[in-house]
Amino acid sequence: MTSWTGLERRQFPRVNYPCLITIRHEASGLDALLTHTENIGTGGVCVMFKRDIKLFSEVDLEIDLLDMEKNIKCKGRVVWAVKTQSPKPVKAPVYDTGIEFLDIVPKDQKRIADVVNQLIKEGFEKTPFKL
């Protein structure tokens, strides 16, 4: 898989943490997709899709941090997408996609920050970009 080394604009640390996320975007035919995050931070998530979602599209997110608390529900906006080759032998293209949180409530954002900070302390790998 190709590494993307584009301009880094993140303001928040992220960790490689595969929590569960459900994404809905009816305009692209994506009624409900359950997948794992590539990484997560208080400002957004990175996921891989089998289809392209138009830049700046708004999506509905439901995030299960696997911390035994209620799922976080908020809106998000696709802020970047990079077409890559699937790591599976099928070689179908996938889209590494960055989604910015839009209307996340402060207590949910703090919950994500607490999880991210705890994972960093435990040695989880930060994303390979400037934090």
Domain boundaries of the chain, sorted by first residue: 14-121
The confidence score (pLDDT) of residue 1 equals 34
Q: Is the pTM of this model over 0.85?
A: no
Q: In this predicted structure, what is the pLDDT of residue 32?
A: 80
Within the chain, which residues score under 50 in pLDDT?
1-10, 129-131
**What is the pLDDT of the chain when averaged over all its residues?**
81
The confidence score (pLDDT) of residue 129 equals: 44
Instruction: Pick the closest to residue 52 from 22, 85, 23, 82 (CA basis).
Output: 82
Q: What angle do CA 62, 65, 69 make, to 5 degrees?
A: 90
The domain defined by 14-121 folds into Thrombin, subunit H (2.40.10)
